[in-house]
């Protein structure tokens, strides 16, 4: 299986668009400060977020999500 991963910058840009569309600026600022306040231990955060996941299980969840969000 070949999984195409998006660029981190593209994902961050999309996340920011979602935040701006659904949250007031004060809350967006708070989220941004929380993202960058702890020094950014990405590996620890990744391990916590994706504990027990594999590339295959995440790919399956992505396909399911994309199918539902596109009305399939």
Is residue 14 a part of any domain in this protein?
A: no
Q: Residue 69 has what pLDDT? A: 58
- Total count of domains within the chain: 1
Is residue 72 a part of any domain in this protein?
A: yes
Is residue 19 a part of any domain in this protein?
A: no
Is residue 26 a part of any domain in this protein?
A: no
- Confidence band for 72, pLDDT divided at 50, 70 and 90: very low
Tens digit of each residue's pLDDT (9 = 90 or more) over 2-55: 778 888 888 888 988 999 899 888 888 888 888 777 666 777 877 887 888 888
Which residue range(s) make up the domain with 67? 41-72
Is residue 68 a part of any domain in this protein?
A: yes
Q: Where are the alpha helices (DSSP H) in the chain?
A: 8-22, 25-37, 42-49, 55-69
User: Which SS3 state, helix, strand or coil, does residue 54 take?
Assistant: coil
pTM over 0.75: no
Is residue 3 a part of any domain in this protein?
A: no
Is residue 50 a part of any domain in this protein?
A: yes
- Confidence band for 59, pLDDT divided at 50, 70 and 90: confident
For residues 63 and 44, give the distance between their C-alpha atoms in angstroms, rounded to a whole number: 26
């Amino acid at each position: 299986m070949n999984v195409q991963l998006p660029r981190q910058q593209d994902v961050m840009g999309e996340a920011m668009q979602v935040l701006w569309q659904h949250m007031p600026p004060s809350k967006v600022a708070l989220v941004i400060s929380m993202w960058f306040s702890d020094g950014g231990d990405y590996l620890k955060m990744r391990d916590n977020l994706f504990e027990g996941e594999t590339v295959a299980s995440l790919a399956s969840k992505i396909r399911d999500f994309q199918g539902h969000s596109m009305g399939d």
